[in-house]
Structure 1
Amino acid sequence: MSAGSEAASAAITVVLPDGQSRELPAGATGADLAASLGRRAAKDALIAVADGTELDLNRPLPDGASVSLVFPSSDDGLEVLRHSTAHVLAQAVLRLYPGATFSIGPPITDGFYYDFDLGVDEAGRPRTFSDDDLEAIEAEMRTIVTARQPFIRAEVDRAAADELFAQHPYKIEILDGEADDPTSGPTGGVITTYRNTDEFVDLCRGPHVPDTGRLGHFKLMRVAGAYWRGDEKRQMLQRIYGTAWGSAAELAAHLERLAEAAKRDHRRLVTELDLLSFPPELGGGLAVWHPKGAVIRKIMEDYSRDRHEAGGYEFVYTPHLAHARLFETSGHLDFYAEGMYPPMEMDNGVYYPKPMNCPMHCLIFGQRQRSYRELPLRLFELGTVYRYERSGTLHGLMRIRGFTQDDSHLYMAPEHLGDEIERLLDFVLSVLGAFGFEDFTFKLSTQDPDKFVGSADGWDRATAALREALDRRGHDYVEAEGEAAFYGPKIDIDVLDAIGRSWQLSTIQLDFNLPERFDLRYTGADGELHRPIMIHRALFGAIERFFGVMVEHYGGAFPPWLSPVQAVVLGVRADHDAFASEVVAQLAEKRFRAEMVPADDPLGARIRRAKLEKVPYVLVVGDDDVAAGTVGVNSRGHPVRRDVPLGEFIAQLADEVERKATDVGGPSNTAADVGGSSGTGADVSAAIAAASD
């Protein structure tokens, strides 16, 4: 062999993301590549990705591979950090709780969890964690991090795996293929494990950070129960949730976001603001709306009706239950039975509460022969549906068992599809924008090549129509290949709320399935029968869930047009109550929602109460106001204004309601405006200032 050949065999070449090639010694690892790129890369790199395969940094790189390094600042890097931190959590728990067994511990959005079985106590009762235990577990995790234990990968055969996990039955189930773990188990016939010390090894595909010292920016958050394999007939395990980030600053920012989210939690706010409740007598996942919440809901529904009527939709109403044969025809009993309530045996058959409105809308379309001249036919209903959700998945208004959809089903000829989708995109954004949402993201889900109904040509045309509509409207979007439902492609529209959280609300979903199942047809211009294309579309998604998102978006402080009480009127003293009542009467005459609170308590206390109730406007009246027909305006987020003519305030409020302003307005003041023109005005301002502290 020549010297040149020997040199060539002693080196490999990898291609970096920028297209440049880099030569490394034969057997070079991801860590070697990182070191060749500089001190910063060597310090921060977590794993390597070679030709799409994730590798630990100590694994050799293939010659000729396209290689990138993963850093903590990326989504992939955060997933590796969180996965590795979950292993440290498991090691800490097994060290602190002898006899405990562990099951699965994947990374999740913003964090990770691990599930444990702690066995039973002396009385035979299952042992559980408490939130107080988290502090000790977290301290043990930090001890493990400080030790800089390496993550050592090994490939083992089944006999060796059985021996390693003989005391951990949940791992054996995973090995047997009877349970799934997104981070563990056999892959391509190879069983991989990761060991940190002689005392701790886990079943895992990896990859992981080089050693535990790369971790540390984490916090354990809470304890929850979780059935093994999600089966309520199986063992209840103890789940510990945590969060992990690439830096202390990112962790602090996340915890701050969580604190802000807790303040905005709709489950607490709807109770504090007396909007609705979940009486246990009703059962889980069912709400009753109190008068104040019902006011907001009525405004939402009235707005939706008005917009649909103006948009060429026809209103329909359908019953809350139907004979089983309807859901056999629609396919819900084949594909959605687990999400439906149990059947009711009647003297003339079996009935189900409806989980969706679409089958009944198909019946309306199919009741008579339709002409192409009637298309597109747009049917709209505020229809209440009932879906059985497991009790452990219920979450206030966000996951509920009975809810109302602003549900539309559109039937059209293929030539209508592109224009109709564009109309729908504009309609969705217009409605969401009216309720204060301004930031949107779009996802286009395309055909699963193995699970679909309809023709390939129909799918291609429908997907192209969705894509072209997004392009023509200039919306950036991501494509989710293979994630469409079996009956057609769809566009999902998410909104970002005031603190940057994403909520999936609206969907534009094409359907080739139901028109065929219900044998829907229309007569075309050629005199022949044709199958319509159907679009499912809900703008709010569900009234209840949309309401919950709005509560959290606004933190309960609704803008004036949505607020159940737009103004509270307070007299400084009891002898001002008569004028305060007159102000309320004038506001009510203009159909504004106002209340007068008698001067039974000090003014400051009444102002504080109105602020806690998040009323947009607190109007205070004293001697000067009675004489001049004015009010003192204490508007949320703005300085106090004194001596405002009542007519001027009414005009301002009317303007805000008319244009659906999402803030509380009013011109700004100078400090000199705040005090008023008399001693009474100064007293009012002092009380307001004290109430604001």
Structure 2
Amino acid sequence: MIRPRTARSTVYALVRSQWTCPTCLSRPRYSRKPERVEPPDHRKLGLQQELFITSIYSPGSPIFLPNGARIFNRLVDFLRKQYVRYGFQEVITPTIYKKSLWAKSGHLENYADDMYSVTGNAQESDTGSKGCCGGERAAEEEGDGEYGLKPMNCPGHCLIFKSKLHSYRDLPVRYADFSPLHRNEISGALSGLTRVRRFHQDDGHIFCRPSQVEEEIKKTLDFVKVVYNVLRLGVSYRLALSTRPKDHYIGTEEEWSRAEDRLKRALNSSGMEWSINEGDGAFYGPKIDIILQDSDGKEHQTATIQLDFQLPKRFELEYQAPAPEYEARGETTEDPELLAEYGPVRPVMIHRAVLGSVERLMALLIESYNGKWPFWLNPRQAIILTVNTSEPVLGWAEEVRDVLVGIKSSGPSGDDVVNPTGLAVDVDTTARSLGSKIREARTSGYSQILVVGEEDVKSRQVSLGRERMSPAEMRDRMRDMVDAFQ
């Protein structure tokens, strides 16, 4: 006989079994949505990797920490090496110029809202002094104490070109400049390294003959392609032709149309896809913009190629050439009488930046690599871990580091001039287990984790995984990786 409570339990079980099944009971009541993976944010990664910080005392001016400065300097050094191939000469120009220069260039009229003004104490100067540019003294006495922080380098490079006479045989002349630039971005637009007020640009200007324009643009597009492939950005950028703005531009519509046509021909011959960005050209000329996408899908303009007929006119730049009328049109003639006639011709100016803002490109690289830097760019290239804290092991670890970074003296006096390798090598001599040190080194993002123990001291070697080699061999291997941009 079944007890009452047991009977009721049995009935409930029989009833429930008619309407349910074990698999139904195990299902969750509500379906869970997959968690959204947050895209990498260079601002958070910059703090985690100790790359840069910002300060309320200088909004929009990032402060690079040692690790960030290493990346910055390697990008700049990389560009400098490419300048040899593409024929650029590096120059250094002032940070501030008189207001009269910005009036001459057209920036005061068309770009004043984005510039910083600087006021100096006007002082009398020697009336007999002469400037570098054709003996011009500061005839623009009005506002002599008013200056502007430069937002770009083009006026300064025009002054350099004008400082000497040029023949058509000298052209193209190519200048490059890494001087810091300042632009007055509104505070609400400031964001990490992507929108800043103080930044550095691989700013270059090419002064060429009209007949050389398309070839120079083609070379610059090739320059961009080479650099972006090394940075592993070769498939993530697009080209856009930015045309004449509706307002705030200098020159005639005919000059703009001619310049835009030349850029279109250069883009078509490049074999790359491109689009038109109506009305987004610079105030002095149309441009080709290279646009990258960040980890969140937002687009950023990085590299740029701009064609300019206006600044050479405003600064009265010229070079001497035979048959000047034909030369100015980019044409040639075989007429000996015309070729015997030399005269001044206005050069064409091409503005170009391959990285664009170095800070902005760093932000995109920080998010793209997400802590997994290629060795040549990694601010933490190698770390030496000690197996124990004995004096011989600690001493050998420091000696290995000195060899790797290139500061170990080869002479007995120790007064030799050192030749640093540029490698970033740290040493962990803490009294922790080797396993703990290795885990921390991997988490920190070191490319090469080297180990030094008693056996390494005896053999005068260093261990990398299962390999053992001399410090000099390790140094040479690392330098080869840097030279190959690995």
Query: How would you bin the TM-score normalised by the shorter chain?
Result: 0.7 to 0.9
What is the rounded CA distance, in whole Å, between the counterparts of 1:413 and 1:462 in structure 2?
Answer: 14
Whole-angstrom CA distance in 2 between matches of 1:603 and 1:394 = 43
The 5-angstrom pairing of residues 148-227 of structure 1 reads none
Q: Which one of 446, 465, 480 corresponds to residue 655 of structure 1?
A: 480
Spell out the pairing of 1:322-471 with structure 2 (5 A cutoff): 322-347=97-122, 348-439=144-235, 440-447=237-244, 453-471=250-268
Residue matched to 1:316: 91
**Alignment partner of 1:600 is 2:376:** no
- Give the whole-Å Cα distance in 1 for the aligned partners of 2:56 and 2:438: 34
**1:642 counterpart = 2:466:** yes
Residue 598 of structure 1 deviates from its aligned partner by: 0.4
Q: Which residue of 240, 255, 270 maps to 2:46?
A: 270
**Separation in 2, partners of 1:501, 1:357:** 28
Q: Partner of 1:346: helix, strand, or coil?
A: coil
1:513 maps to what in 2? Answer: 310
AA aligned to 1:596 is V
Question: Which SS does the other structure have where 2:178 is aligned?
Answer: strand
Against the structure 1 CA distance between its residues 528 and 267, is the aligned structure 2 distance closer, same or farther, given a 3 Å change threshold? Answer: same
Counterparts in 2 of 1:463 and 1:498: CA distance versus 1, 3 Å: same
Q: Is 1:292 the equivalent of 2:107? A: no
Kindly provide the amino acid, as one letter, of the partner of residue 332 in structure 1: H
Alpha-carbon shift at residue 630 of structure 1 (Å): 5.2
Instruction: Report the 3-state secondary structure (helix = DSSP H, G, I; strand = E; otherwise coil) of the residue aligned with 1:574.
Output: coil
> Cα distance 1:346–1:603, how it changes in 2: closer, same or farther (>3 A)?
same
Q: What corresponds to 2:273 in structure 1?
A: 476
- Give the conservation status (yes or no) of the 8 Å contact 1:437–1:496: no
Question: Which amino acid letter does the alignment assign opposite residue 97 of structure 2?
Answer: A
Distance 1:300 1:521, change over 3 A: same
Change (3 A) 1:286 1:482: closer
Q: Deviations over 1:437-476 (max 9, x none)?
A: 2213111223457775445554344333322222222111
Instruction: Look up the match of 2:398.
Output: 581
> Which string of whole-angstrom CA distances, capped at 9 and with x for unpartnered residues, describes residues 125-160 of structure 1?
xxxxxxxxxxxxxxxxxxxxxxxxxxxxxxxxxxxx
Question: Could you report, residue by residue, the CA deviation over 1:303-330 in whole angstroms, capped at 9, with x for unpaired residues?
Answer: 2222223321122221111111011111
Would the aligned equivalents of 2:149 and 2:181 in 1 still touch at CA under 8 Å? yes
Equivalents in 2 of 1:484, 1:610: separation in Å?
47
2:346 counterpart residue number: 531
Q: 1:558 aligns with which of 369, 373, 386?
A: 373
Taking a change above 3 Å as real, the CA distance of residues 330 and 442 of structure 1, as seen in their structure-2 partners, is: same
Distance in structure 2 (CA, Å) of the matches to 1:444 and 1:643: 52
Contact 2:39 2:295 in 1 (8 A): no
Normalized against structure 2, the TM-score is what? 0.75
Q: Determine helix, strand or coil for the equivalent of 2:485.
A: coil
Change (3 A) 1:471 1:252: farther
Regions of 4+ moved over 6 Å: none
3-state SS in 1 of match to 2:194: coil
**Superposed displacement of residue 399, structure 1:** 1.0
The answer to whether the Cα contact below 8 Å between 2:404 and 2:474 also exists between their aligned partners in 1 is: no
Q: Is the 8 A contact 2:451 2:463 kept in 1?
A: yes
Q: Deviations over 1:371-429 (max 9, x none)?
A: 22221111111121111112111111111111111111111121001110001001112
**1:677-688 pair list within 5 angstroms:** none
Moved more, 561-570 or 582-591: 582-591
Please identify, of 573-582 and 509-518, the stretch whose mean Cα deviation from structure 2 is larger. 573-582
The residue that corresponds to 1:611 in the other structure is 442
1: CA distance, partners of 2:247 / 2:229: 38
| SS of alignment partner, residue 356 of structure 2 | coil
Instruction: Answer whether contact 1:498 1:554 (CA < 8 A) is retained.
Output: no
Given residue 515 of structure 1, which amino acid in structure 2 is its aligned partner?
A: P
* Alpha-carbon distance, 1:554 to partner: 1.4
Counterpart residue number, 1:157: none
Check 1:308–1:350 CA distance in 2 against 1; reply closer, same or farther (3 A cut): same
CA distance in 2, matches of 1:267, 1:489: 33
Q: How does 1:49-60 map to 2 (within 5 A)?
A: none
> How far did residue 603 of structure 1 move?
2.4
Taking only the aligned residue pairs, the percentage that are identical comes to 36
Matches of 1:403 and 1:594, distance apart in 2: 28
**SS at the partner of 1:303?**
helix
Work out the CA distance in 2 between the residues paired with 1:608 and 1:326.
57
Give the conservation status (yes or no) of the 8 Å contact 1:437–1:497: no
Gap runs ≥5 in structure 1: 1-247, 634-640, 662-693
Asked whether the 8 Å contact 1:403–1:543 carries over to 2, the reply is: yes
SS, match of residue 619 in structure 1? strand
SS in 2 for 1:260: coil
Which residue does 1:488 correspond to in 2?
Answer: 285
Aligned counterparts of 2:210 and 2:277: Cα–Cα separation in 1: 23
Q: In structure 2, what residue type is equivalent to 1:407?
A: D
SS of equivalent residue, structure 2 residue 78 = helix
1:603–1:556 CA distance, 2 compared to 1 (3 A): same
For residue 181 of structure 1, what is the aligned residue in structure 2?
none
> Any unmatched runs of 5+ in structure 2?
1-30, 123-143, 324-341, 407-419
Q: How many residues align structurally?
A: 399
**1:260 is the counterpart of 2:31:** no
By how many angstroms is 1:627 displaced? 4.8
